[in-house]
Amino acid sequence: MTILFYIFAAIAIFGGIGVVVYKNPVTSAFSMVFSFLGLAALFIQLDAYLVGTLQILVYAGAIMVLFLFIIMLLDVPQEEKRSFPLTAGVGALAVGLGLIVALMIVLKKSGVGEGTLPKLEAASGKGLTDIHKIGELLFSTYWFPIQIVGLLLLVATIGVVVLSRKELR
Amino acid sequence: MAYTVKRPKLAWWEKLYLPGLAKGLRITLGHFVKTLSRKKKVTMQYPEEKWDSSLPEHYRGAPALVTDEQDRERCVACQLCEFICPPRAITINPEEIPSDDKWAKVEKRPKKFEIDMIRCIYCGMCEEVCPEQAIFLRKDYAITGTSRAEMVHDKEKLYEIGGVREGLVNKWNDLK
Amino acid sequence: MDLDILAVSTLHITIAAAIKVVAFVFLTILPLVALSVWAERRVSAAMQDRVGPNRVGPLGLLQPVADGIKFLLKEDFTPKHVRKGFFWLAPALTMVPSLLTCAVIPFGSSLFGEKMVIADLDVGPLFVFAIASLTVYGIVLAGWASNSKYPFLGGVRSTSQMISYEISLGLSIVPLIMIYGELNLGRIVQDQAVNGWAMLPLWGEGLGKNLLLWIPVTISFVIFTTSMFAETNRLPFDLPECETELVAGYHTEYSSMKFALFFLGEYAAMIIGSGLAVTLFFGGWSLPFGWLAPETGAAAADIPWWHGAIHILTFFAKVIVFILFFIAVRWTLPRFRYDQLMDLGWKVFFELAIINVILTAIILWVIK
């Protein structure tokens, strides 16, 4: 099973690299989809079926499709010709490396990587699967934040409707 | 002139679309059942069943040359059919009938008579224009071949298809 | 010692899974795809008072084989103006997700103590929707990579259509999930086997006050089936490839085996859609009136093998009936106009699905 982990981790990482490296925006977007798929597979390996499935359903299946859709309407050859400033590259590399170092320090200090954690089903105590557990948490402990997030999304939707109306200038 | 098309006003249950779907399905499934139960004869199973017996008298199939009851080839190589043929499918090379022949007075006969069946459009103009009643459209319709050369009907082939045709006007008889 | 047992059991699981994959996906679904192509042609012919392909083999049953050979031997032409990488990737991307979704559909109760489902996930329907939502990439990329106008328009249409109907498709099964309190397709089917199918609650606990739930389930079924038609790009919603407007839509530039993959992907999606509809609404592998239904919570080994075999046959019989329904509808209805399609998706089904969820909640609250 560790082999599968390495395969999917490689897919996720190379997908991520592809997003940055490829100049063709469609290829970039597509690399991102692959990265998401690898990530979803890793979630599923951790017994987090719901998170993995939602990762595919929401990000790979819906949001990236819209992204791809918009990118296709762009002028791709022009995008491909755009030069890549060196300073930006160096900056991005520095930020990325900094992030990795920070993550490593945090993980080292928290001691997450030491020893194996119990399986998710066992961890919940009642032998519940992750989907029941998430449902329970969402509608008990976190019901207020959920309402707030829902309202936020509603506001955003109404805003889009108002902005896209033609007669309003 | 532009005008507004009156859309029919639909009742609420018609707007549901489902009654329409049911009605449509009833029609198609009705046909489906009727065809499956063989109540309705639909298509002829062509290579096994043929329509030869029910071909009408005026059917225009492959053109062919005929001989008459005196075994004379009726074509006199006047080349009218060659000239009228719209797709130029007919090629005729005439030759003189030697003087010792029984039909020497006809003077001309085709040395080469070829109909390219790839070109032929079965219009029947050759039959119509022929002053000698020598070329007829027969009921053969399945003309096939594996090469272009095979699809050209030469003189022997044309007579083979045409055969003997009796009861035609005999204008080269000795009586006349 | 402990490790040894673990290794043996993983090997056993792997082998069982591999057998199930081969037997279900490659030996059942793919031939079923071929068979449904044949059925489509014969049924449509009969509906139009024709005969249909009846030359190759008995009743023309070998026609799909002949078609397959034709597809393989045809020239695989790649036009010069296409974006090659994506052009090659696109057909595979339509076919693979369709087959991947087979993994969670329970196609039988159990056989020789082995559960007849490839992956017994606790998020079955969500998994199907997630993977099915990836199908759109194949079509979008095909349209875009072809680099010509008709495929592109087809791809654009398909994307917006599939995204729109994914929402009503997902929302339409929420009432069912509420009723069963379960996202595991196997357990949903088990419940239906004992307590009445969702669309036919005439035995077990289904009879009685639970009969009220039949109303939201029927609404769900209508929305689900219609959205399934739209998701699989079949008539009356085949706007991405409508011949009269877009030549052939997103697969205009494709030929040979690449086209065949699109074609097979469409039919595979149709079969999986039928399988899901049967599983959710018509009791999956279970026989009506609780005949041969295994006890709830019975171990897989307790079910006799011939029960399992009958269950598998029942499942496929139901799927075939559903496929025939798909075909019948295709040859009955004319194509929708594009704005009508969008109106139906956003202005009718979306609201109806949400109202349906609330209705189900009320009914559940009343009868509890």
pLDDT of B123 above 80: yes
Average pLDDT value for residue range B157-172: 83
Least CB-CB distance to C136: which of A53, A54, A65?
A65
Does C133 sit within 8 Å of A57, measured CB to CB? yes
**Residue of C144, C167, C250, C354 to mutate, interface with A, max A Cβ within 10 Å:** C144
Residue type for B16, please?
L
Q: How far apart are CA C332 and CA B25, in angstroms?
A: 6
Domain boundaries in chain C?
68-367
pLDDT of A126 above 60: no
So what's the pLDDT on residue A124?
A: 53
| pLDDT 10s digits, C124-157 | 788 888 888 888 888 888 888 888 888 888 888 8
Q: ipTM of the assembly?
A: 0.76
Whether residue A3 lies within 8 A of chain C, CB to CB, comes out as no
CB C121 within 8 A of CB C184: yes
So what's the pLDDT on residue C2?
A: 45
pLDDT of B38 above 80: no
Q: Which two tokens stand for residue C366?
A: 């009343």
What is the end-to-end Cα distance of chain C in Å, rounded?
A: 51
Q: Which residues, listed in sequence order, are joined to residue B112 by a DSSP beta bridge?
A: B93
Domain boundaries in chain B?
56-162
Does A65 sit within 8 Å of C137, measured CB to CB? yes
Choose the weakest-confidence range: A98-102, B13-17, B83-87, C335-339: B13-17
What is the end-to-end Cα distance of chain B in Å, rounded?
A: 71
Whether residue C95 lies within 8 A of chain A, CB to CB, comes out as no
> What global pTM score does this model have?
0.78
CB C204 within 8 A of CB C196: yes
Does A60 sit within 8 Å of C134, measured CB to CB? yes
Residue B175's pLDDT band, with cuts at 50, 70 and 90, is: low
- Is residue A112, in this structure, part of any structural domain at all? no
**Residue of B32, B37, B39, B40 to mutate, interface with C, max C Cβ within 10 Å:** B32
So what's the pLDDT on residue C358?
A: 92
Among C230, C341, C323, C331, smallest CA distance to C278 is for C323
So what's the pLDDT on residue C307?
A: 79
The shortest C-alpha distance from A13 to chain C (Å) reads 20
The shortest C-alpha distance from C313 to chain A (Å) reads 30
Whether residue B31 lies within 8 A of chain C, CB to CB, comes out as yes
Average pLDDT value for residue range A140-155: 91
Report domain B56-162's class: alpha beta
Burial B79-115 (b: 16+ CB within 10 A, else e): bbbbeebeeebbbbebeebeeeeeeeebeebbeebbb
| pLDDT 10s digits, C83-140 | 888 888 888 888 888 888 888 888 877 777 677 777 777 777 888 888 888 888 888 8
- Is residue A150, in this structure, part of any structural domain at all? yes
- Is residue A90, in this structure, part of any structural domain at all? no
Q: How many CA atoms lie within 13 A of C224 on its CB side?
A: 27
A57, A76, A95 - which closes a domain: A76
Q: How many CA atoms lie within 13 A of A29 on its CB side?
A: 23
**Residue of B16, B28, B40 to mutate, interface with C, max C Cβ within 10 Å:** B28
C299-302 long-range contacts (CB < 8 A, ≥24 apart) are C299/C113, C300/C109, C300/C110, C300/C113, C300/C114, C300/C115, C301/C110, C301/C113
The overall average pLDDT reported for chain B is 85
Does A130 sit within 8 Å of C122, measured CB to CB? yes
Q: How far apart are CA C25 and CA C129, in angstroms?
A: 18
**Residue of C324, C332, C352 to mutate, interface with B, max B Cβ within 10 Å:** C332
Q: What are the start-end ranges of the H helices in C204-255?
A: 214-231, 243-246
Q: With touching defined as 3+ CB pairs under 8 A, do chains A and B touch?
A: no
Would you call B51 helix, strand, or coil by DSSP?
Answer: coil
Does B21 sit within 8 Å of C49, measured CB to CB? no
So what's the pLDDT on residue A82?
A: 67
Per-residue DSSP letter, C200: B
- Is residue A118, in this structure, part of any structural domain at all? no
Which residue range(s) make up the domain with A28?
Answer: 1-76
**C114 vs A32, residue with greater confidence:** A32
Compute CA C151 distance to the chain's CA centroid, rounded to the nearest angstrom: 25
A72 lies in the same domain as A1: yes
Least CB-CB distance to C333: which of B21, B31, B40?
B21
Q: Which residues, listed in sequence order, are joined to residue B110 by a DSSP beta bridge?
A: B94
User: What CATH number is associated with residue A44?
Assistant: 1.20.120.1200
Among A89, A12, A110, smallest CA distance to A52 is for A12
- Is residue A137, in this structure, part of any structural domain at all? yes
Q: Which chains touch C (3 or more CB pairs under 8 A)?
A: A, B
Whether residue C130 lies within 8 A of chain A, CB to CB, comes out as yes
CB < 8 Å to B24, chain C: 332-333
CB C356 within 8 A of CB C172: yes
So what's the pLDDT on residue C1?
A: 36
Least CB-CB distance to A72: which of C121, C123, C144?
C144
Q: What are the start-end ranges of the H helices in chain C?
A: 2-20, 30-47, 63-73, 84-100, 124-132, 135-145, 149-172, 174-180, 185-195, 214-231, 243-246, 256-281, 305-330, 338-343, 350-367
Q: How many domains does chain A have?
A: 2
CB C294 within 8 A of CB C109: yes
So what's the pLDDT on residue C3?
A: 47
A46, A76, A106 - which closes a domain: A76
Whether residue A124 lies within 8 A of chain C, CB to CB, comes out as no
Would you call A140 helix, strand, or coil by DSSP?
Answer: coil
**Within chain C, which residues score under 70 in pLDDT?**
1-9, 113, 205-210, 290, 296-301
- Is residue A40, in this structure, part of any structural domain at all? yes
